[in-house]
Structure 1
Amino acid sequence: MTLLHPTFFSPIIQYVGIVQSAQILFEVEDNFQKQTYRNRCYINTANGKYLLNVPFQHTKGIKQKTKDVKIDYKDNWVDLHLKTLKTAYNSSPFFEFYVDDLTAIYKKKFTYLLDLNLKTHQFVMDALQLEIPFSKTNEYYKEFEGLDLRHLVNDSKNNDFKLDSYFQVFDQNHKFIPNLSILDLIFNEGPTSESYLNNQKFPF
């Protein structure tokens, strides 16, 4: 069993771990931390790597568990995300096959970040045409007997994973950008995304 954090349209390295696992356990009993992939992802644009961030409700000085974090909709970030994604990937080979389901996720307006992240995971698994069972923790594991990949949630420049290159829409503008959101791989590679993930080095 592989232990991971549920993240927002996870980085590719996280799905390398997922597709090569028999069963997934999502950590939901941890304390929420800012500036992680819990509420952010990176996509590829004409100007390079670009951050999409999901605002959340928080009270200064009060810790929240990941499962209790609520999304903040006071700013119109939903339409901004959709507009940015369409601008970035409208010319990608497979964007049109997934845009309706992607739009439906954004328009649903989930109350809790956890529910949004689990829905994005379902979207990705459907796109990859994979069925890997998952469950959620009911306690926090300081140590885990299975494969612990919770460190992949950290948005750190030190995570220099060696991933193979694939076609990216703006490869004529800049060099290949590794480990973006899984959306980048799916929109560019479509049905071959699963094969790409399975061919990457694992475990890490």
Structure 2
Amino acid sequence: MSIIIHPTYFSSIATFVAIAQANEVTFEVDDNFLKQTYRNRAYIYGANGKLTLNIPVIYSQKNRQKYRDVKIFNEEKWQILHWKSLLSAYKTSPFFEYYEDELHPLFHQKANYILDFNFKCFEVLSNCLQLEINSKKTETYYKTVDTKTDYRYLVQAKKEQAQNFEPYTQVFGNKHGYIDNLSILDLLFNEGPNALNYLESQTLAK
């Protein structure tokens, strides 16, 4: 299966289910940036339930701007905040320490453009998951694509389609119950080397 999909910030499990089951992945990089999407947002499982990690960007809704051109607003110390949130949420998870050294640099080296940073995150995650993919990037934006399965809708954070993935053990599951389709980090820290098998066995909602 050949798919087209958005590169996003520590992508949702649904996004990685689509990627893990594809033969070829085309990343959409020629679209306009939109707020309130997974382009600069991820959801993790904190002590009080679902927690949003949001990367601040320099962006005006009035002037359309390409995703590739949007800069990160580094005046806010978002990297320190996100790393502390991950430590708080997952330090006691079975596999956090297993991947900590690979993820740590992402939160301690300055990032300038949101798209570039998302690709850097994806590269690290692929290594952690031992996921090998045949990928390329778009060169032109097309509203509709006939030659690939279009998963670009998975970028929506506010209007996302409910998934029904197989539950796995989560750190605060006894407190708040199972939360579906969080960031891939939640699956990685809780399932470790089994995460890829999990992704390959799940079915996306249609």
Q: Give the TM-score normalised by structure 2.
A: 0.96
CA displacement 1:27-86 (0-9 Å, x = unmatched): 011110000000000000110000000001123511110111111100111111111100
CA distance in 1, matches of 2:107, 2:119: 13
Instruction: Give me the whole-angstrom Cα distance separating, in 2, the residues matched to 1:74 and 1:62.
Output: 22
Does residue 94 (structure 1) correspond to residue 95 (structure 2)? The answer is: yes
Aligned-residue offset at 1:202: 4.5
Does residue 177 of structure 1 match 2:179?
Answer: yes
Q: Write the letter of the residue equivalent to 1:71.
A: I
Q: Is the 8 A contact 1:17 1:203 kept in 2?
A: no
Gaps of 5+ in 2: none
Alpha-carbon distance in structure 2 between the residues aligned to 1:58 and 1:101: 30
Q: Offset at 1:159?
A: 1.1
Residue type at the aligned position of 1:201: T
Structure 1, unaligned runs of 5 or more = none
Equivalent positions of 1:155-170 (< 5 A) are 155-170=157-172
Q: Give % identity.
A: 46
Q: Tell me what 1:75 maps to.
A: 76
Deviation for aligned residue 1:203: 7.3
The answer to whether the 8 Å contact 1:8/1:37 transfers is yes
Alpha carbons 2:166, 2:202 under 8 Å: kept: yes
SS at match of 2:71: coil
Runs of 4 or more consecutive aligned structure 1 residues displaced over 4 Å after TM superposition: none
Alpha-carbon deviation of 1:10? 0.3
Distance in 1 (CA, whole Å) between partners of 2:70 and 2:16 is 23
1:2 maps to what in 2? 3
Alignment: residue pair count: 204
